[in-house]
Amino acid sequence: MKYIKQVPIVTCAYLTVSKQDQSEYLRGVKADEITYYEQDQTFLAKLRRDPKAQNSYMSTIMISSDLKNVRFEEHFGSHDFDWLLRLFRNQSSIQINRNLATRFVHTSNLSRTSAFRVVDYHFAMLTIESYSDSFPKECKLCAERLNATRAKFHYEMGQMDIARRFFKKSQWEVKTALYYMSTYIGSDWVRKNHHVYG
């Protein structure tokens, strides 16, 4: 509560637990109590889909009443990317670097279904179009990272033909190349031993 008096948006760290193998992934816990983000710092990081951006898991966000009119879109439903961009636009924020919530992930989660991933992907691509004139570099990187996320989802689901198609459109780096090659051989080992998606 003390931090919401300083900035309009406060988020916290959280823990993700897989219900399949009980593996845990802690996001955002750091030695410092807080991390301060200057105006538009988080907005630009979210637009780039930067994995090191401020946490924005819904159960850990508190916003000032001044932002209550930043609402979710209602056409696609259950998709938060455009809302987060509109929320963090022109705002400063703080992340409290302590674990507030535990997110349990299993195959029946809405975000882990093919239908959701397809709509989420297309809506995110549509969202970045409205920013492409003002932020072309960020939007290009965002599109590549959206393709990588979609590829990793299909990889995790064992749909290697689809995964390859999206890996080809993602940012080409060593990790991407290794994932791509393992879609032909070795994906079972990778999925068993590495955190691929979610």
pLDDT-based confidence at 111, cuts 50/70/90? low
Q: Which domain holds residue 125?
A: 110-192
As a whole number of angstroms, the distance between CA 112 and CA 99 comes to 23
- Asked whether residue 21 carries a pLDDT value surpassing 90, the answer given is no
Confidence of residue 113 (pLDDT cuts 50, 70, 90): confident
**Residue 197 falls within a domain, yes or no?**
no
Average of per-residue pLDDT values in the chain:
90
Higher per-residue pLDDT: 138 or 17: 138
Q: Is residue 120 part of a domain?
A: yes
Would you say residue 198 lies in a domain?
no
pTM: 0.85
Instruction: Give the residue carrying structure tokens 């990889």.
Output: 155
For 70, 110, 148, 176, 190, the CA distances from 115, given in Å and listed in that order, are 26, 9, 17, 24, 24
Domain boundary among 45, 78, 105: 105
Same domain, 62 and 34: yes
pLDDT at 24: 81
Same domain, 101 and 177: no
Instruction: Report strand pairing: 61-63 vs 24-27.
Output: unpaired
Q: Write down the pLDDT at residue 104.
A: 85
26 and 99 together in one domain: yes
- The one-character DSSP state at 30 is -
Residues 90 and 157 placed together within one structural domain of the fold? no
Tell me what the mean pLDDT of segment 120-136 comes to: 94
Confidence of residue 108 (pLDDT cuts 50, 70, 90): low
